[in-house]
Amino acid sequence: MANTPQAKKRIRRNDRRAEINGNRISRIRTFVKKVESAIEGGDKTVALAALTEMQPELARGVARGVLHKNTASRKLSRLSKRVASIA
pLDDT by 10s per residue, the chain, length 87:
788 999 999 999 999 999 999 999 999 999 999 999 999 999 999 999 999 999 999 999 999 999 999 999 999 999 999 999 997
Boundaries of every domain in the chain = 5-84
- CATH homologous superfamily for the domain 5-84: Ribosomal protein S20 (1.20.58.110)
What pLDDT, on a 0 to 100 scale, did the predictor assign at position 21? 97
pTM of the model: 0.86
What pLDDT, on a 0 to 100 scale, did the predictor assign at position 2? 80
Long-range contacts of 22-28 (CB under 8 A, 24+ apart): 24/60, 24/61, 24/64, 24/66, 25/61, 25/66, 25/67, 27/57, 28/57, 28/58, 28/61, 28/66, 28/67
What pLDDT, on a 0 to 100 scale, did the predictor assign at position 65? 95
What pLDDT, on a 0 to 100 scale, did the predictor assign at position 7? 93
